[in-house]
Structure 1
Amino acid sequence: LSSEKLTTQIVEDGINLMTSDLRKVNIPAMLVEKKPNFVGLRFIGNYSVVTGQLTGAEEPSYETLEILEEAVTPDNSMEALFQDFPRAVRVDRYFMQQDLKNPDNFACYVADPVGYEEARKEIERTGMGLLNEDEWEYCCGSGTRRLFKWGNQLHRSLIQDEANSPLWKENMFGLEIANAEFGPELIEGRPYTKGAWLEENFKAPVLNLLPLSSYYSVNLPLLVDPNGHLAAGYYCARRAIRIEM
């Protein structure tokens, strides 16, 4: 698609190719986790760029604090004075994600890889489970015919006005789902994931934003290492409980 002259037909075909079929299904009543958690990462605490301290799950080593500080703190150059802290950063085995409500704080994780079945069974041991594709799409777009949870329109504010952009906001159900900060979310059964990280693969902006569509569905193989572990921090998972009426 990126090498061809862009036409409305190419865009339409691309959307149809990368979205699920129109269908009508029954969705059960559910309790759904508001925000997904990254898979294959172990939470080690919250890092404050103000104090330079990591507080939370475990006592950090000096080497850990040094790695975290260098990862998020701008250098001493004049240009760095006008730089924002990164939303997310990965260094070695560490992953840090900025708290959007308190940008000076970062949730910190260390790689602790697991496989798909192991991640799914761990959730099931808590009495909950993953959403299937139908349930995930309903939770994302509430069953509407809109391509995205915010509608069918693309505005400059989607990228330029992060404070008000729906790319990082809760949807109509109050869920943080298909947001730019999470990447592919594990679901029950094929296609195994919904959503994806945003990449500029196409000339048409709407195709680049399709991973955040309520109906994005691309059956890609899971990224795993030789031991069958999922790429640490690449995927996320959300817990849910189905309620029988």
Structure 2
Amino acid sequence: MDITPIYSRNNWNNLSENTAKEILLHLVETQLPGFTIKSFEQFNKFNQSTFTAVLDHNGSEFVFVPGDTIVLGLDKWAMADENKQKMAGLLEQSTSETDTFIRERLSPVRTVTVSPMIVERNIRATGYFAVAMDDERLVTDSYFEKALQELRNTPKEKYIYTVNDSFRLEKNGSNIKAFLYEPSSYDELTTEIATTGFRFPTEDEWEYLCGGGSRTLYPWGDNIDYSKKYHHFAADKDSDEPYFLDTPNHFGIIIANNPYHYEVMMDSEWFLKAGDGGCNICGGGGLDIGYLPASTYYRDINIFDEEMNFKDEITGDYTFVRRIKRLAPDGSIY
């Protein structure tokens, strides 16, 4: 079977749905043991579109993402005066200084070839492992009973109570699950994922997954849309309205939807993307500065701060991972 269309998004998008389905079925049957196809779907968002398969692997959802040769990075954009002036006011800078501030935090423009991938749709927490609710290490923690009582009393169907560097309780309806925390270094985490047959994205792959090659600060354009509902900035929004970025993007994944959430990269100098751990928000940056770290090409310079020791303990409440598998030109997985 000719699978070459999977290496060009334009060629992939020009296929009929039946041909695309045949290729996806072939890939799963021949190259992806342990994966099953749940559905075929067309994802549309921010003027981009992809027909793909949603896959299941041990209860986790993945999607197929076609490869491409594409321009990434950014050195110019067209921000509206309203947005630029708000950012300049928050930074206490001129608008030209604000342009410099942003440009210094964007990855350089470059042309790259990205392999087709099988990509996990949602990020996964790091450092936490499931334990029984009566685990001695859990019940002897002085905060455990308080956390458990709060979960039982909350009217919310889904709720997470986290005690830093200790434990986490997650409620889903009447079901409560417990997790203990165990730290890992960057090397330990990336080595462990490699032994399972998966990997994490490179910076190039992540930027492609986030923006699809869009030539703007954000996947949707160069400006914050103040009419939308964002995490941490939803106090005046309808509680039933979905968060702006919590729906699947053009590849069918949820990505860069919360600047408190870093994602771990592999084989890249910039080993964290997708946010800044909430530093700009906590520092009073508001929506405009607060969500800049979640933009497609943003690089957080603070990840190299020796005092933060990110690589010594990469896991924790603000660090997440997304598993992928690449498809090589011969159709094999690597």
TM class by shorter chain equals: 0.7 to 0.9
Q: Per residue, is there more strand in 1 or in 2?
A: 2
User: 1:48 maps to what in 2?
Assistant: none
Match of 2:319 among 223, 235, 241: 235
1:40 partnered with 2:127: yes
User: 1:194 maps to what in 2?
Assistant: 273
Aligned equivalents of 1:14, 1:97: Cα separation in 2 = 39
Number of residue equivalences: 221
Cα offset for 1:130? 1.3
Moved more, 117-126 or 148-157: 148-157
Aligned equivalents of 2:111, 2:160: Cα separation in 1 = 37
Conservation of the 8 A alpha-carbon contact between 2:148 and 2:169 = no
Aligned equivalents of 2:227, 2:170: Cα separation in 1 = 25
Cα offset for 1:98? 6.4
Q: What SS class does the counterpart of residue 148 from structure 2 fall into? A: helix
Q: What letter is aligned with 1:194?
A: K
Q: 1:206–1:4: structure 2 CA closer, same or farther, 3 Å change rule? A: closer
Q: What letter is aligned with 1:35?
A: N
Conservation of the 8 A alpha-carbon contact between 2:133 and 2:178 = no
Q: 1:232–1:34: structure 2 CA closer, same or farther, 3 Å change rule? A: same
Conservation of the 8 A alpha-carbon contact between 1:94 and 1:109 = yes
> Radius of gyration: which is bigger?
2
The CA deviation string for residues 92-149 of structure 1, in whole angstroms up to 9 with x for no partner, is 51234566xx6x7666422111111111011101111111000000001111112223
Q: What letter is aligned with 2:263?
A: E
Q: 1:28–1:169: structure 2 CA closer, same or farther, 3 Å change rule? A: same
1:138 partnered with 2:222: no
Match of 2:228 among 146, 150, 157: 157
Conservation of the 8 A alpha-carbon contact between 1:185 and 1:235 = yes
User: 1:119 maps to what in 2?
Assistant: 189
Q: What SS class does the counterpart of residue 297 from structure 2 fall into? A: coil
Aligned equivalents of 1:236, 1:144: Cα separation in 2 = 24
User: 1:10 maps to what in 2?
Assistant: 97
User: 2:289 maps to what in 1?
Assistant: 207
Q: What letter is aligned with 1:19?
A: L
User: 1:28 maps to what in 2?
Assistant: 115
Cα offset for 1:13? 2.0
| Higher relative contact order structure (alpha carbons within 8 Å, sequence separation ≥ 6) | 1
Structure 2: unaligned runs, 5 residues or longer:
1-87, 330-334
Q: What letter is aligned with 2:261?
A: G
Aligned equivalents of 1:134, 1:215: Cα separation in 2 = 10
Q: Per residue, is there more helix in 1 or in 2?
A: 2
Aligned equivalents of 2:133, 2:290: Cα separation in 1 = 41
% identical aligned pairs: 23
Structure 1: unaligned runs, 5 residues or longer:
45-57, 76-80
Q: Structure 1-normalised TM-score? A: 0.74
